[in-house]
Homo-oligomer: A and B are copies of this chain.
């Protein structure tokens, strides 16, 4: 048997993205050196985590490539260094085209709406985002974020103060919708009593199933750390499990030892 000389020193330093995971999600971008640890489905302590220096860096990857960093997102998620929404955004990039019409079914604080606008608006000013939320606060926050971030965004987005289950009432007939994105749970920083509910989420998923074109995607990030979250996950899983395997590919990513971690689910229409 060989005598082995290990080359641990050859590990390159790894610079993770935002490492925060929490019930209040995006707001914790503000505390990138901390993470919330869940036990038995409830929040138990706030604990700093150290960056993992044992994962290979992709520094040899050309920064000019349109795929720069993309391959790391999934692996970084597996290794606890990326958020569920980062993985969702990565998947969107592989599906959404410039000029597309998409729906942000739960716009919340507007980060997904902004991401979607950046993905769809092209040089010829095509591309359209429908942004829905049942809370006026959420629409105000989204509007404010878009105003800060993008010039004349109004041409490419319309905000609707309506439940996601009603998306078919606002989306123009014959629209070819490439993506419907859901971020379930409650508005980060908002009233935690106002949450998406299984019954209307199911109706919204059924609407999305009717709307999304072939080659399109229903993207869902399910938050399970709050009361009703587990039930909603079950609703989404049951809905996905019965989807026709010939027309839909339904995949879930789940952290097994972090019961409260958000769960990305992707329903891709062939």
Q: Report B-chain residues with C-beta under 8 Å of the C-beta of A155.
A: 2
A251 within 8 A of B: yes
- Chain A 164-181 interface 0/1 with B at a Cβ cutoff of 8 Å (1 = within): 000000001001100000
A231 within 8 A of B: no
Chain B residues contacting A8 (CB-CB under 8 Å) are 97, 215
The residues of B that contact A10 with a CB separation of less than 8 Å are 97-98
Task: Tell me whether A258 and B237 are in contact (CB under 8 A).
Answer: no
Instruction: Check if B253 sits within 8 Å of A253, measured CB to CB.
Output: yes
Shortest A147–chain B CB gap in Å is 19
Contact B2 A79 (CB under 8 A): no
Q: Which residues of B contact A47 (CB under 8 A)?
A: 246
- Chain A, range 23-67, C-beta contacts under 8 Å to B: 37-39, 47, 52-56, 58, 60-62, 65-67
List B contacts of A176 (CB < 8 A): 6
Residues from chain B with a CB closer than 8 A to the CB of A6 are: 99-100, 126, 176
A: number of interface residues (CB 8 Å): 81
Q: Which listed residue, B56, B62, B254, touches A254 by the CB 8 Å rule? A: B254
- Within 47-100 of A, Cβ neighbours of B (below 8 Å) are at 47, 52-56, 58, 60-62, 65-67, 70-71, 73-75, 77-80, 90-91, 94-95, 97-100
Report the minimal beta-carbon distance from A246 to chain B, rounded to whole angstroms.
8
What copy number does this chain have within its complex? 2
A91 touches B75 (CB 8 A): yes
**Assuming A65-B65, A67-B61, A97-B11, is B251 touching A52 (CB within 8 A)?**
no
**Besides the contacts A52-B215, A254-B254, what 9 more A-B pairs have beta carbons closer than 8 Å?**
A6-B176, A7-B97, A55-B95, A55-B215, A61-B65, A79-B249, A242-B257, A244-B257, A252-B256
* Interface: A245 (CB within 8 A): yes
The residue on B at minimum CB distance from A248 is: B257
> B2 near A78 (CB under 8 angstroms)?
no
Convert A139-157 into 0s and 1s, putting 1 for each residue whose CB lies closer than 8 angstroms to a CB of B.
0000000000000000110
User: A158 at the A/B interface (Cβ < 8 Å)?
Assistant: yes
Q: Are B251 and A254 in contact (CB under 8 A)?
A: yes
For the complex, what is the distance from the CA of A75 to the CA of B53, rounded to whole Å?
25
**Which of A105-113, A185-193, A262-270 sits within the interface?**
A262-270
Q: What are the residues of chain B within 8 A of A122 when measuring CB–CB?
A: 7
